[in-house]
């Protein structure tokens, strides 16, 4: 196991007595480098699809309007999947400082992910499958000429491959945590009860919460695929309401978990750049256990418009959305700001992206919680506000966290000093916030989402899409700078890892 | 770094302020657009339409014989008529069934048009094949019909007629779907056609329908709901996750 080339100024306590130690870089560096490279390549490809979609909406590229929903399907699923595996890969890499993880399970999951992505890309880009990442029942099999039936089966096969691979990987990391910590310790219950015990790094605590929740989300994905295939084989319809509940249980939870992995890495790495500890404590433990208790219910806010959903579940959806998001977010943002305030900071590409990612998570999270409020959702539902908030916490939140941590993995293993990357950060932030702002402005104007081409009465939606393309240029320049900075050291890192 | 961030933030706020002013200016110029929800599920005026064969028929009786897609155009049109008719032709060709399962009825907006003239205009745009009817009607009837579908027409100084691109799907005299704009895609028109042909568009199946598993059972009088067996599938992922976690973390006996 290699030692970090960027020695932390204040590592989290790793030893049984809570003594700071020489911190190893992380587990399975070569595999992690492959994971992060795959995630970054996918991120760039999905970025291109997103830009193409905005070009269609802005009437700049009407020739590909027929492909809009296929692009949207791959963009949504591909970006969420890329960030999920990228964030989980860097989290498990840094968890290697504290626990043993299985290289074999990780390698199988990487192979499964690549295979699944190829299958999904074929079903959407070649077959034209365009039911959206949420593939709501009965749309995949009722395309009304939109796409051939085989693409729906292929899409389900791709989902099954991804779900099985990721489930295996999740179980293997959970087993690694279990080999070192009892469940009560891994979840930090001793902080809550006030009992003395081994220090648990926040990275392990938050990742354990995330892994348990992602297990549930992936099981839901498997159930969905089985139900779709059963219906296809038997012709007996499924309950659309049950299918929608399952689909959003899977999708909403997976995206949330992705953010939690990103935040877990922020807790782990930021102390190393700001010279102050960020240990687990009672407040941190309570907030993240609240997340575990309630995040599996928060998805219910996606069904506010479903008149057949019992009203009690709508109320639970709003309450769970607030209680699962706010405590952990407030504790993390407050902790992050206290860590940075007046600190002797070492600003690098990693620390800048992690800190800015934390802010993006907060900004997008506020909009998300707003949208989960029934009164607000009544106005914002299916407007551009929705992509506004999820692009804020994805593009400016977890993507930045993942990219920052991935760069750290490269720099550590290449044994080179980290670049400051001020211009890269500035271009990324300018482009990213501009793109998000255009979505928010469209939402405030009541422009509906998921329109390939805006009719004349919604012409302002096309105007916002055109302006977005200007900001896409800034974002692309920022990402190109990142690729240059990380890419030029990647091969050296892989060779030395 | 912090200084740079601060300046960037100020820049973004200034830009946001400038942009928020733009929608009002842009939308003020756009007035009077067709709305797809206008007049849905209402009976259309039962106007008398004369087609290119000289046959005159009432809209209600005609749409009882076969579902109709009703649209509006005129022969001298240099605007939206050509793209609308071409898109309608291409899309209905792709979906199939035109002439067998439904007809496309083009109503002339210009009183100077004859059905033959309108048909010739359409042919000049490459529109051929079965299932098309080119019709005229009295001026007041055209205006009433177009308004009922959600459109309008008004003369322009250059002799042209300003009107929106509209396709109304009609079943038994009732407007069941409206497709606005000339750039619609096949699935959108397929939905309109499906409803015009009386197909059930699944929104939420009626409680008595044949279904593998249902998560809630609803009383038909609307008084509450109960849990059904499908709810077990909703709870299974969380139950399995917590069960598997307990299994993975189970205490092990030491060596």
In chain A, the percentage of residues whose pLDDT exceeds 90 is: 81
Q: Give the pLDDT score at B120.
A: 93
* A464 has pLDDT over 50: yes
- What count of Cα atoms within 13 Å lies in the side-chain half-sphere of residue B255? 0
Q: Is A1 on the interface with B (CB under 8 A)?
A: no
* B253 has pLDDT over 70: no
User: How buried is B7 (Cβ within 10 angstroms: 0-12 exposed, 13-18 middle, 19+ buried)?
Assistant: exposed
* B250 has pLDDT over 70: yes
Alpha-carbon A174 to chain mean position? 19
- How many of the other CB atoms lie within 10 Å of CB of B2? 9
Q: Is B233 on the interface with A (CB under 8 A)?
A: yes
A 245-284 near B (Cβ less than 8 A): 245-246, 249-250
* Higher-pLDDT residue of A86, A381: A86
**Token pair in block for residue B17:** 């302020």
Shortest alpha-carbon distance between residue B194 and chain A (Å): 9
Q: Give the pLDDT score at A82.
A: 96
* A21 has pLDDT over 70: no
Rg (CA), chain A: 22
* A3 has pLDDT over 70: no
Name the residue with tokens 């099999």.
A141
**A385-413 pLDDT tens trace:** 999 999 999 999 999 999 999 999 999 99
Contacts of A249 in chain B (CB under 8 A): 234, 237
Of A3-17, A92-106, A344-358, B87-101, the one with minimum mean pLDDT is: A3-17
Q: Give the pLDDT score at A14.
A: 39
Residue range A215-240: average pLDDT? Answer: 91
Angle at CA of residue A323, ends A322 and A326, nearest 5°: 70
Q: DSSP secondary-structure letter at B162?
A: E
Cβ distance A263 to A88 under 8 Å? no
Shortest alpha-carbon distance between residue A254 and chain B (Å): 13
Interface test with B, best of A145, A324, A359 (most B CBs within 10 A): A145
**Token pair in block for residue A278:** 């960020």
- What pTM value is reported for the model? 0.75
In chain B, the percentage of residues whose pLDDT exceeds 70 is: 78
**B168-206 pLDDT tens trace:** 999 999 999 999 988 888 878 888 898 898 876 655 566
- What count of Cα atoms within 13 Å lies in the side-chain half-sphere of residue A289? 18
| B225 CB-near residues (< 8 Å, 6+ apart) | A310, B216, B217, B218, B219
Residue range B100-112: average pLDDT? Answer: 95
End-to-end CA distance of chain A: 9
Q: Give the pLDDT score at A111.
A: 97
* Higher-pLDDT residue of B136, A20: B136
**A90-131 pLDDT tens trace:** 999 999 999 999 999 999 999 999 999 999 999 999 999 999
Q: Give the pLDDT score at B129.
A: 86
Interface test with A, best of B26, B241, B250, B253 (most A CBs within 10 A): B241
Q: Is B26 on the interface with A (CB under 8 A)?
A: yes
Helices A422-444 and A385-393 sit at what angle, rounded to 10 degrees? 160
Cβ distance A308 to A47 under 8 Å? no
| pLDDT-based confidence at residue A261 (cuts at 50, 70, 90) | very high
User: E strand or H helix at A472, and its extent?
Assistant: helix A459-496
| pLDDT-based confidence at residue A198 (cuts at 50, 70, 90) | confident
Residue range B111-140: average pLDDT? Answer: 93
Q: Is B210 on the interface with A (CB under 8 A)?
A: yes
Nearest-angstrom CA–CA distance, A342 and A7: 21
Q: Give the pLDDT score at B42.
A: 86
Cβ distance A478 to A353 under 8 Å? no
- How many of the other CB atoms lie within 10 Å of CB of A21? 12
Angle at CA of residue A440, ends A436 and A441, nearest 5°: 115
Average pLDDT, chain B: 82
- How many of the other CB atoms lie within 10 Å of CB of A181? 21
Nearest-angstrom CA–CA distance, A31 and A106: 8
* A150 has pLDDT over 50: yes
Nearest-angstrom CA–CA distance, B33 and A352: 47
């Amino acid at each position: 196991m290699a030692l970090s080339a960027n020695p932390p100024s204040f590592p989290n306590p790793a030893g049984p007595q809570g003594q700071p130690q020489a911190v190893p870089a992380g587990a399975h560096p070569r595999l992690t480098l492959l994971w992060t490279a795959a995630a970054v390549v996918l991120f760039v490809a999905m970025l291109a699809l997103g830009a193409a979609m905005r070009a269609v909406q802005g009437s700049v590229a009407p020739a590909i309007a027929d492909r809009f929903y296929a692009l949207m399907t791959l963009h949504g699923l591909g970006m969420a999947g890329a960030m999920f595996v990228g964030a989980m890969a860097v989290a498990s890499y840094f968890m290697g400082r504290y626990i043993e993880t299985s290289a074999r399970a990780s390698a199988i999951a990487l192979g499964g992910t690549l295979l699944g992505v190829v299958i999904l890309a074929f079903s959407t880009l070649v077959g034209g499958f365009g039911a959206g990442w949420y593939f709501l029942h009965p749309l995949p099999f009722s395309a009304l000429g939109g796409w051939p039936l085989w693409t729906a089966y292929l899409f389900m096969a791709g989902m099954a491959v991804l779900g099985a691979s990721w489930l295996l990987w999740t179980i293997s990391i959970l087993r690694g945590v279990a080999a070192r910590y009892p469940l009560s310790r891994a979840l930090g219950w001793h902080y809550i009860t006030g009992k003395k015990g081994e220090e648990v790094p926040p990275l392990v605590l938050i990742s354990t919460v995330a892994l348990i929740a992602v297990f549930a989300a992936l099981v839901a994905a498997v159930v969905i695929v089985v139900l779709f295939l059963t219906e296809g084989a038997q012709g007996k319809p499924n309950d659309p309401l049950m299918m929608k509940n399952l689909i959003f249980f899977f999708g909403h939870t997976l995206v949330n978990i992705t953010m939690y992995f990103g935040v877990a890495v922020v807790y782990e790495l930021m102390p190393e750049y700001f010279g102050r500890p960020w240990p687990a404590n009672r407040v941190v433990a309570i907030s993240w256990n609240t997340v575990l208790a309630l995040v599996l219910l928060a998805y219910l806010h996606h069904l506010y418009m479903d008149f057949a959903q019992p009203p009690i579940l709508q109320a639970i959806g709003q309450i769970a959305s607030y209680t699962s998001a706010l405590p952990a977010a407030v504790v993390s943002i407050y902790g992050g700001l206290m860590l940075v305030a007046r600190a002797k900071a070492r600003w690098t590409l990693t620390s800048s992206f992690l800190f800015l990612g934390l802010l993006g998570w907060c900004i997008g999270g506020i909009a998300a919680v707003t949208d989960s409020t029934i009164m607000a959702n009544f106005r914002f539902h299916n407007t551009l506000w929705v992509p506004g908030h999820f692009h804020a916490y994805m593009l400016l939140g977890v993507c930045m966290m993942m990219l920052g941590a991935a760069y750290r993995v490269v720099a550590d293993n290449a044994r080179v000093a980290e670049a400051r990357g001020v211009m890269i950060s500035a271009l990324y932030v300018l482009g990213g916030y501009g793109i998000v702002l255009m979505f928010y402005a469209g939402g405030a104007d009541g422009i509906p989402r998921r329109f390939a081409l805006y009719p004349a009465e919604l012409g302002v939606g096309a105007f916002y899409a055109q302006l977005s393309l200007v900001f896409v240029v800034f974002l692309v320049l920022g990402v190109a700078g990142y690729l240059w900075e990380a890419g030029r050291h990647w091969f050296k890192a892989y060779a030395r890892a | 770094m912090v200084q740079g961030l601060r300046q960037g933030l100020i820049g973004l706020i200034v830009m946001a302020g400038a942009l928020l002013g733009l929608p009002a200016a842009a939308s003020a110029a756009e007035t009077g657009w067709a709305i797809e929800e206008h007049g849905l599920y209402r009976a259309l005026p039962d106007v008398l339409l004369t087609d290119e064969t000289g046959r005159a028929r009432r809209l209600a009786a005609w749409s009882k014989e076969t579902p109709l897609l009703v649209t509006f155009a005129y022969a001298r049109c240099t605007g939206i008529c050509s793209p609308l008719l071409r898109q309608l032709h291409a899309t209905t060709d792709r979906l199939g069934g035109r002439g067998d399962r439904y007809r496309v009825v083009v109503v002339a907006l210009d009183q100077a048009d004859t059905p033959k003239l309108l048909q010739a205009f359409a042919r000049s745009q490459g529109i051929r094949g079965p299932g098309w009817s080119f019709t005229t009607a009295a001026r007041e009837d055209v205006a009433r019909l177009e308004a009922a579908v959600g459109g309008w027409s008004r003369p322009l100084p250059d002799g042209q007629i300003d009107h929106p691109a509209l396709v109304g799907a009609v079943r038994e005299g009732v407007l069941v779907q409206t497709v606005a704009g000339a750039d619609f895609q096949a699935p959108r028109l397929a939905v309109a056609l499906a409803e015009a042909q009386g197909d059930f568009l699944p929104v939420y199946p009626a409680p008595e329908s044949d279904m593998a598993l249902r998560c809630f059972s609803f009383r038909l009088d609307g008084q509450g709901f109960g849990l059904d067996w499908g709810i077990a599938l909703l709870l299974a992922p969380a139950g399995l996750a917590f069960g598997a976690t307990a299994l993975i973390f189970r205490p092990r006996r030491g060596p």
